[in-house]
Amino acid sequence: MENPSPEAAQVREIRQLLRQVDACLRVRRELRGAQHESVGLSDVYWHPDNLHPALNVVVPRRNTAYVPIGDVQRGLHRLRELGRPARLQYIEGLFPPQYRDQIQSVGLRREVRVPLALRPLTPEHPVPLMAMHEHRVTREVGDMLCVEVGDLHQPIGLARLGLGAEAAYINLLEWRDQTGLEALLHTVMTAANEADTTLLILPDAPVRQSAWGSVLSGMGFIIEGCLITCMDGNDV
């Protein structure tokens, strides 16, 4: 049996990372109180009290490579029955272009596109050694970490990490400048590694060719995949 080409191995690694992103998002919804039920190959998430879009959404069933459009529509119908707008979310990179074309053909329109930067934290992808700034890591609740970085008692940056499925979803809140942002991200990587996570997820990633994209690449981030949210045009 022939060994896979480097390109095929890279595609497989990225898909594994994106599946971990999906697992993390599922855990995050459930930790925040969302319930879910399956409708064919769609999973319907809804929160009994909180109407936040991230908690009331239809997603493809875990580990599926394709979802028939009929199952998507039935999932959206169930979400409407629960008094929620018809909203679908999926990770671009786990599904073929035909999936996007099909959901557009039934009137779903893209609401949000969130590019992702992924940083594996494994023995093959260790945290680089750098001079550490003054910092404090606190656990706000069981699944949230707050990371504060300073220099001579002056704040440099602030971030929160949402933990789930051995991954950490980064919410960058404040940073002084690009140097401060790099210091904050390095501290975030260290904190996540110490929390036994194996993947960092940074939303709103820049394009690879940009200056900031080059900085992220130099820190070991892989800019791949997007979190796509679509809504029925009648519900917008």
Tell me: do 21 and 77 sit in the same domain: yes
> Does residue 213 lie within any of the structural domains?
no
Encode the chain (236 residues) as per-residue pLDDT tens digits.
Answer: 456 777 888 889 999 999 999 999 999 999 999 999 999 999 999 999 999 999 999 999 999 988 999 999 999 999 999 999 999 999 999 998 899 999 998 899 999 999 999 999 999 999 988 777 889 999 987 799 999 999 877 889 999 999 999 999 999 999 988 888 899 999 999 999 999 999 999 999 988 888 888 889 999 999 999 999 999 877 65
CA distance 107 to 73: 10
**97 part of a folded domain:** yes
Query: Comparing C-alpha atoms, which of 124, 110, 175 is closest to residue 147?
Result: 175
Contact 58, 24 (CB under 8 A): no
User: Do 111 and 28 share a domain, yes or no?
Assistant: yes
List C-alpha distances in Å: 202 to 51, 119, 137, 159, 221.
24, 8, 18, 11, 9
Does 57 map to a domain?
Answer: yes
Distance CA 125, CA 194 (A): 14
Q: What pLDDT does residue 211 have?
A: 84
Domain assignment present for 101: yes
Are residues 50 and 87 both part of a single domain? Answer: yes
Number of domains in the chain: 2
Nearest to 194 by CA among 124, 147, 130, 133: 147
What is the extent of the structural domain holding 15?
A: 6-116+226-232
Closest C-alpha to 189, from 103, 120, 141: 120
